[in-house]
């Protein structure tokens, strides 16, 4: 009687728990004597993966080293640790250019731009005054007739060109009006020489 109870306990508790002990037909007997499909062998959960199933080993990567060896990304995106010498130089040049563009122009600046052909000059005075004397090569765009005189500017002056506008000087506001028109039209580098023709008239061009 005791043996029968132990055998029943073994098949009812221990065999289902560990899944071990299947007969030749792949069936396991229950306590009530009815067969039951055997569980998978105990070693199935611990089987080793073959070569095709092996997970790649995790490796640590030196991000700074990768950033130095990988090509720099396009469209202005910067990789940490990566610097383009040419772009850094161009950025410095642009900062210096903006600094020169925003400060007030002196007579020495005007003469330097004229000698280096690095700026377009626009005389905002009336036509008669322009004919009496002007900076050689300057365009005449009278403040009262801007639209009528803009054709040479559209044709010859690029939108990224530095433009120096001058009028008579002193209280003259013609240069301000022409400069504002040019900025509104899309010229970003427009500057006024506020001393005007009163200072330029004595320069030997």
Angle 24-28-34 from CA coordinates, rounded to 5° = 120
Number of domains in the chain: 2
Residue 113 belongs to a domain: yes
Instruction: From 197, 126, 118, 199, select the one nearest 162 (Cα to Cα).
Output: 118
* 186 within domain boundaries: yes
pLDDT digits (tens, 9 = 90+) for 54-103: 665 555 555 555 445 444 444 344 444 444 455 555 556 555 555 544 45
Structure confidence by residue, pLDDT tens digits, 131-183 = 999 999 999 999 999 999 999 999 999 999 999 999 999 889 999 999 999 99
Same domain assignment for residues 109 and 42:
no
CATH number at residue 111: 3.40.250.10
Domain span including residue 195: 105-200
Query: Is 81 or 34 the better-scoring residue by pLDDT?
Result: 34
In a domain, 15, yes or no: yes
Q: Looking at the DSSP assignment, which residues form a beta bridge with residue 192? A: 165
Above 80 in pLDDT, residue 25? no
Same domain for 124 and 191? Answer: yes
Q: Is residue 25 part of a domain?
A: yes
Whether residue 89 lies inside any domain: the answer is no
Residues 119 and 194 in one domain: yes
* Phi, psi (degrees; rounded to nearest 5) at 51: -60, -35
């Amino acid at each position: 009687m005791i043996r029968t109870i132990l055998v029943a306990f073994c098949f009812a508790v221990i065999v289902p728990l560990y899944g071990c002990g299947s007969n030749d037909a792949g069936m396991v007997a229950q306590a009530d004597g009815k067969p039951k499909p055997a569980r998978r062998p105990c070693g199935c959960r611990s089987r080793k993966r073959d070569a095709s199933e092996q997970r790649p080993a995790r490796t640590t990567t030196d991000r700074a080293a990768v950033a130095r060896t990988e090509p720099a990304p396009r469209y202005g995106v910067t990789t940490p640790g990566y610097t383009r010498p040419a772009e850094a130089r161009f950025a410095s040049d642009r900062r210096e250019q903006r600094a020169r563009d925003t400060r007030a122009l002196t007579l020495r600046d005007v003469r330097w731009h004229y000698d280096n052909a690095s700026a377009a000059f626009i005389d905002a005075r009336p036509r008669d005054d322009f004919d009496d004397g002007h900076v050689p090569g300057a365009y005449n765009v009278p403040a009262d007739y801007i639209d009528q005189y803009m054709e040479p500017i559209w044709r010859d002056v690029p939108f990224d060109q530095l433009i120096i506008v001058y009028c008579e000087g002193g209280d003259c506001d013609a240069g301000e009006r022409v400069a504002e028109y040019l900025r509104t039209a899309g010229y970003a580098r427009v500057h006024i020489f506020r001393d005007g023709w009163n200072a330029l008239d004595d320069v030997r061009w």
